[in-house]
Chains A and B, each alone.
Chain A
Amino acid sequence: MPYLPHTKRDIAQMLDAIGVASIDELVRVPAAVALRAKPEIVAALPESEIVRRFEEFAGSDRATTMASFLGAGAYRHYCPPAIMALAMRGEFLTSYTPYQAEVSQGYLQAIYEWQTYICLLTGLDIADASVYDGATALAEGAIMALAATNRKKILVSRAVHPNYRAVLKTYCDGLDVAIDEVPLLPGGMTDPQALRDALSRGSYAAVALQSPNFFGIVETVPEDVRDAFKRSGTVPIAVVAEALALAAFPTPASWGAQICVGEAQSFGVALAYGGPYVGFIACTSDHLRRIPGRLVGRTVDRNGKEAYVLTLQAREQHIRRERATSNICTNQAHCALIATIYLALMGASGLRNCAAQNVKRAHELVKRVSAIPGCRLQFEAPFFNEFVLNVGSSAADVLKALQKRGILGGLDLGRFYHEMSDCILMTATEMTTSKDIDALCAALQEVVRVPASL
């Protein structure tokens, strides 16, 4: 059998030491709970055969060979090979949570660096060692605000990623917490008037706003809305689904966010059909005792030498049990490590340049596709690397037709916004080539119906 070192002689010697005649005596269970049926599992395969099978599976994921304009919270970015060469080192990959600080100084330092990177990017005071992903980060951030305010309602913009809102609802259902949504302006941004009204009417624990929002639009928070946060005692939560944008736009802290939650998959983490990714939570120091998950701190050892350690564990489930700030135990440390190495390799100018390449490609794309008869840009507002294209008829049908021509044209927004069933969320990154754009435009010209009036 693979991965099992025991020889017959080993087993005999070990049984002898234990004082039993066979392993059966060790694994005996009461008759009442014995196996009722033999599990049906595939027969064992040799390693060469395993690889062959997975190559076959991988080969039938034809989406990975096509030109793609999909984004919507999961982005294809360039990953320098140095990232994996480092992150896949066995010491990192096969280590457990660094509870034994003395033999985990390397990983602890890397996570301390991750926490610092997240603070520098968001402008906030502290960041945790990671949570599962962007959506659960929002749910955990909301729970922090519930605890901070002792209120039972959350306000969230309809321009926040629909999957994040859905997960927030799953979590809030358990806590009997109500969620209200802020509507959109016709221009695709969160309606500031409706937001102010809601804040003055209800007593909300938190308000969640995303920028760039789900439609790629850079949202700004006007002064009067910031005042409304303060007047209402509501905790503003910034949601980030495309972390690369943090390199381009003013920090969430700069518009008053007390908590910033988000997804850092863009920093070198593979698309991998949705996971594992890496969620982050940053906050002002007022919220220190409420932040969920692990925190790495810098301290000294017995001899006064600098050392890193997991700290403030009294917030966590293994110490505080039912009174913990969250149930999270396993987090996404390895993805956080990947993101940290990515940021170290890119550096300030590399990261900003990558952001600029995204903006450039997205603007080239929008110029080309919005010029196609029957297509138009749905929202005229500053955007980062994605935008909404109105194709004048069923987006689902147009996307299907593009698919037949070898192109993944983007996301059908009708899936999440019933009034946008003729709209596609299109994404371009630094990986989008001119050839991809040419192919998309040629195909769109064939498949989009031109209105009769033209």
Chain B
Amino acid sequence: MYQPRSERIPLIFEQGQPGRANRYLPSDAQLSDYLPAENLRAELPLPESTELDVVRHYTRLSQRTFGIDTGFYPLGSCTMKYNPRVNDAVANLPGLRDLHPFAPDELSQGALRIMYELERSLASLFGMAAFSLNPAAGAHAELAALLIAKKYFSDRGELNRQTVIVPDTAHGTNPASASMAGFRVVSLKSDERGRVGVDTLRAVLGDDTAVCMMTNPNTLGLFEDHIAEIARAVHDAGGLMYYDGANANALMGIARPGDMGFDLMHLNLHKTFTIPHGGGGAGAGPLGVAEHLVEYLPTPVVRAIAKDGSTANEDSRTYWLDFDVPKSIGPMRSFWSNFAHIVRALAYLYANGLEGLTDVSRLAVLNANYVRVKVAPFLETPYPEICQHEFVASAQELKKQSGVRAVDIAKALLDRGFHAPTMYFPLIVPECLMIEPTETESKETLDQFIAALEDVVATAKRDPQQILDAPQRTVVARVDETRAARQPDLRWRAPAGVT
């Protein structure tokens, strides 16, 4: 891994000089020419730097940032696969990039068609009646889905349905979204096979059950093999099934949440559909529903009709945004979708077709199982069976032997040029390392990673201090998180006496 010089990079606020501004626009006007002075801001304390200084500053910051482009990223549940550049190129076409959200439908037909095509394709690929592209991220879609459930039960007069069931392996967003939608959360203990037990579930089902949220494959990387029975039990109790699509990369062309009995689901396009994570966002979280919930989807809804009144002929269709959906929960965001990401996702879909997407999932599962069997001889794998797109390992034994914990292994991997796996999640596995290689990594890369991990474990047994001191080759050593939380320093302030 390329390591640039490691001295402190001053903040942008500590650089530049007043008067060093760039000239991007004409400067033939003053605010006070048009507005009463008492309405204006007295000072604007922002730094002024030349374009060169700004370019150097952010280039140097980028060099201190690990991305998929710089190295392997085996981050479980995050699906850090290659982000094809063609997706960015088409998202940046002026006819898509410069389109105003309030542009009339008849002059935005290309954009609407892109949304419609992706919506229809996702519905077919995941077995749902319809999708909304409105939600900005997975958690946002979860919230929308739970608001739909709330409205659905309220319309049916079932106001007693106030409980959302969440397995203990679920992502934290599931219970948090349930709270935000005003539900009570019941956590469900996984069985010894790492799955939701049908009997355990039955024990908590009742006439207060609103929704059961499941991830399948779950966050242990295991397929919930009783999913059909689980869905039946929840439906028999009058509840709805929600599919958290964080792990959909294992399923494409292989199985569909709709066929498993899910009524609601989301996808993370920034995982499965190669949208760049961009340091934590923006993402896109399409929300899929079964037939009985279609009318509750957020507004606007993209619709299409052909000139002959049918929807069959693709090229003679007219597309429009429908804001008049009486039962809708309403809009979830300022404008219609994270459109630039919808473009990227459709480009990815075009690049693959059904066969390609099926291969994506098959090879994601192959890669995960390959790493799993190669890691098993030197690191505990608590669920030693065929996994899906990811698996969990545990440093519990190693910790007992050497004092080296999961976090230490993670930091030692950073020194060896790899990003760390997801740590300490799911919560039920002690000293958990969750590994998701994704399908875009070659066998050579996987072998290098396996060798690095093996080296870390071997070093931990031989000379644990070396691992406890990691990372050594990064621009900073282990960061003092306690101090960060106890003495919050969340912004720069000008030194006293300087304006």
Contact = CB atoms under 8 A, between A and B. Distances in A.
A337 interface: yes
Contact of B366 (A26, A107, A127, A337): A26
**B23, B113, B185, B356: which has the most chain A beta carbons within 10 Å?**
B356
B67 A47 contact: no
27 contacts: A3-B274, A5-B443, A27-B362, A35-B255, A41-B121, A42-B349, A53-B350, A61-B96, A70-B103, A95-B66, A96-B73, A96-B277, A100-B414, A119-B491, A120-B45, A132-B137, A136-B332, A174-B143, A248-B40, A299-B479, A311-B488, A312-B485, A313-B485, A328-B139, A330-B136, A346-B22, A346-B24
A350 B66 contact: no
Contact of B64 (A42, A57, A105): A105
A91 B29 contact: no
A36 B31 CA distance: 64
Interface string B20-36: 11111111111101111
A132 B65 contact: no
A86 to B, nearest CB: 4
A103 B352 contact: no
A251 B94 CA distance: 34
B496 interface: no
A63 to B, nearest CB: 4
Interface string B87-124: 01111011111111111100111110110010001001
A186 interface: no
B173 interface: yes
A39 B33 CA distance: 62
Contacts of B352: 1-2, 44
Contacts of B491: 112, 115-116, 119, 125-127
A404 to B, nearest CB: 11
B204 to A, nearest CB: 15
B93 A270 contact: no
A89 B366 contact: no
Contact of B58 (A33, A97, A312, A341): A341
Contact of A334 (B143, B279, B359, B488): B279
Interface residues of A, number: 202
B209 to A, nearest CB: 16
Nearest to A319: B172
Given A30-B228, A61-B96, A324-B176, A274 B64 contact: no
B471 to A, nearest CB: 5
Interface string B175-186: 111111110010
Q: How large is the interface on B (under 10, 10 to 19, 20 to 34, 35 or more residues)?
A: 35 or more
Nearest to B261: A33
Given A271-B97, A307-B476, A3 B333 contact: no
B241 to A, nearest CB: 12
Interface in A75-114: 76, 78, 80, 82, 85-98, 100-107, 109-113
B477 A330 contact: no
Contact of A170 (B103, B107, B147, B362): B147
Contacts of A277: 334-335
Given A273-B111, A334-B282, A90 B70 contact: yes
Interface string A35-54: 11111111111010111011
A430 interface: yes
A21 interface: no
B429 interface: no
Contact of A106 (B46, B61, B138, B277): B61
A201 interface: no
B386 A25 contact: yes
B498 interface: no
Nearest to B101: A274
B403 interface: no
Contacts of B341: 275-276
B49 interface: yes
**B9, B367, B476, B481: which has the most chain A beta carbons within 10 Å?**
B476
Contact of A329 (B139, B357, B365): B139
Contacts of B357: 41
A303 to B, nearest CB: 5
